Homo-oligomer: A and B are copies of this chain.
Amino acid sequence: MSSISLENITNCPVTATMSVIGGKWKILIIHLINNDINRFGKMSMMLKDISKQMLTTQLRELENDGIILRKIYAEIPPKVEYFLTDKGKALLPVTEAMRDWGNAFVLNEAKAVEA
Protein backbone atom coordinates (compact mmCIF):
# COMPACT_ATOMS: atom_id res chain seq x y z
CA MET A 1 0.00 0.00 0.00
CA SER A 2 2.09 2.84 1.29
CA SER A 3 5.37 1.03 0.96
CA ILE A 4 8.22 2.57 -0.91
CA SER A 5 9.88 0.85 -3.78
CA LEU A 6 13.51 0.86 -2.90
CA GLU A 7 14.50 0.42 -6.51
CA ASN A 8 12.57 3.23 -7.99
CA ILE A 9 11.34 6.27 -6.18
CA THR A 10 9.69 7.52 -9.34
CA ASN A 11 6.91 5.07 -8.54
CA CYS A 12 6.34 6.67 -5.18
CA PRO A 13 2.87 8.24 -5.10
CA VAL A 14 3.98 10.94 -2.68
CA THR A 15 6.74 11.97 -5.04
CA ALA A 16 4.24 11.93 -7.87
CA THR A 17 1.90 14.21 -5.98
CA MET A 18 4.70 16.54 -5.02
CA SER A 19 5.64 16.90 -8.65
CA VAL A 20 2.15 18.19 -9.37
CA ILE A 21 1.35 20.37 -6.37
CA GLY A 22 4.82 21.04 -5.04
CA GLY A 23 6.18 24.54 -4.89
CA LYS A 24 5.37 27.55 -2.84
CA TRP A 25 1.94 28.47 -4.13
CA LYS A 26 -0.22 25.70 -5.53
CA ILE A 27 -1.52 24.32 -2.27
CA LEU A 28 -2.44 27.82 -1.16
CA ILE A 29 -4.18 28.56 -4.44
CA ILE A 30 -6.23 25.38 -4.15
CA HIS A 31 -7.10 26.34 -0.61
CA LEU A 32 -8.16 29.82 -1.70
CA ILE A 33 -10.36 28.57 -4.53
CA ASN A 34 -11.98 26.14 -2.16
CA ASN A 35 -12.82 29.11 0.02
CA ASP A 36 -14.47 30.94 -2.87
CA ILE A 37 -11.61 33.26 -3.48
CA ASN A 38 -11.56 32.36 -7.10
CA ARG A 39 -10.79 35.47 -9.09
CA PHE A 40 -7.37 36.64 -10.15
CA GLY A 41 -7.54 39.94 -8.37
CA LYS A 42 -8.73 38.50 -5.07
CA MET A 43 -6.11 35.78 -5.10
CA SER A 44 -3.49 38.33 -5.90
CA MET A 45 -4.49 40.32 -2.85
CA MET A 46 -4.58 37.32 -0.56
CA LEU A 47 -1.21 35.99 -1.64
CA LYS A 48 0.31 39.34 -1.04
CA ASP A 49 3.86 38.26 -1.88
CA ILE A 50 3.09 36.70 -5.21
CA SER A 51 3.71 38.53 -8.44
CA LYS A 52 1.05 38.62 -11.11
CA GLN A 53 3.26 36.69 -13.42
CA MET A 54 3.84 33.93 -10.92
CA LEU A 55 0.15 33.72 -10.11
CA THR A 56 -0.61 33.39 -13.80
CA THR A 57 2.01 30.69 -14.20
CA GLN A 58 0.72 28.68 -11.28
CA LEU A 59 -2.89 28.97 -12.41
CA ARG A 60 -1.97 27.84 -15.93
CA GLU A 61 -0.06 24.86 -14.61
CA LEU A 62 -2.91 23.85 -12.34
CA GLU A 63 -5.27 24.15 -15.28
CA ASN A 64 -3.02 22.08 -17.53
CA ASP A 65 -2.81 19.42 -14.85
CA GLY A 66 -6.60 19.25 -14.69
CA ILE A 67 -6.84 20.51 -11.15
CA ILE A 68 -8.66 23.74 -11.79
CA LEU A 69 -11.04 25.01 -14.42
CA ARG A 70 -10.89 28.49 -15.89
CA LYS A 71 -14.22 30.09 -16.67
CA ILE A 72 -14.19 33.25 -18.73
CA TYR A 73 -17.20 35.53 -18.71
CA ALA A 74 -17.79 37.62 -21.82
CA GLU A 75 -17.73 40.92 -19.99
CA ILE A 76 -15.78 44.10 -19.96
CA PRO A 77 -13.76 44.57 -17.84
CA PRO A 78 -12.77 40.92 -18.08
CA LYS A 79 -14.09 38.50 -15.51
CA VAL A 80 -12.52 35.12 -14.97
CA GLU A 81 -13.31 32.62 -12.27
CA TYR A 82 -11.43 29.51 -11.27
CA PHE A 83 -12.99 26.33 -9.94
CA LEU A 84 -11.68 23.05 -8.64
CA THR A 85 -12.27 20.04 -10.85
CA ASP A 86 -13.05 16.67 -9.30
CA LYS A 87 -9.38 15.89 -9.50
CA GLY A 88 -8.70 19.15 -7.72
CA LYS A 89 -11.34 18.52 -5.07
CA ALA A 90 -9.67 15.19 -4.43
CA LEU A 91 -6.71 17.18 -3.14
CA LEU A 92 -8.72 18.78 -0.37
CA PRO A 93 -7.78 16.10 2.15
CA VAL A 94 -4.23 17.36 1.74
CA THR A 95 -5.09 20.97 2.45
CA GLU A 96 -7.38 19.92 5.28
CA ALA A 97 -4.65 17.89 6.91
CA MET A 98 -2.35 20.86 6.60
CA ARG A 99 -4.96 23.16 8.04
CA ASP A 100 -5.47 20.88 11.03
CA TRP A 101 -1.77 20.54 11.66
CA GLY A 102 -1.20 24.25 11.36
CA ASN A 103 -3.96 24.93 13.83
CA ALA A 104 -2.71 22.36 16.27
CA PHE A 105 1.04 22.94 16.14
CA VAL A 106 1.73 26.39 14.82
CA LEU A 107 -1.09 28.83 15.43
CA ASN A 108 -2.05 27.53 18.84
CA GLU A 109 1.56 27.57 19.93
CA ALA A 110 1.81 31.17 18.84
CA LYS A 111 -1.30 32.01 20.84
CA ALA A 112 0.11 30.24 23.87
CA VAL A 113 3.23 32.33 23.67
CA GLU A 114 1.24 35.52 23.32
CA ALA A 115 -0.89 34.76 26.35
Residues of chain A at the chain B interface (Cβ within 8 Å): 2-4, 6, 9, 11-20, 22, 24, 27-28, 31-32, 35, 37, 46-48, 87, 90-91, 93-107
Contact of B11 with A46 in the complex, beta carbons under 8 Å: no
Contact of B16 with A102 in the complex, beta carbons under 8 Å: yes
Whose C-beta in chain B lies nearest to the C-beta of A13?
Answer: B102
Pick from B14, B37, B104: contact of A4, CB under 8 Å: B37
User: Chain A contact residues: over half helix, strand or loop, or mixed?
Assistant: helix
Contact of A101 with B105 in the complex, beta carbons under 8 Å: no
Min distance, Cβ A25 to any Cβ of chain B, angstroms: 9
Whose C-beta in chain B lies nearest to the C-beta of A46?
Answer: B9
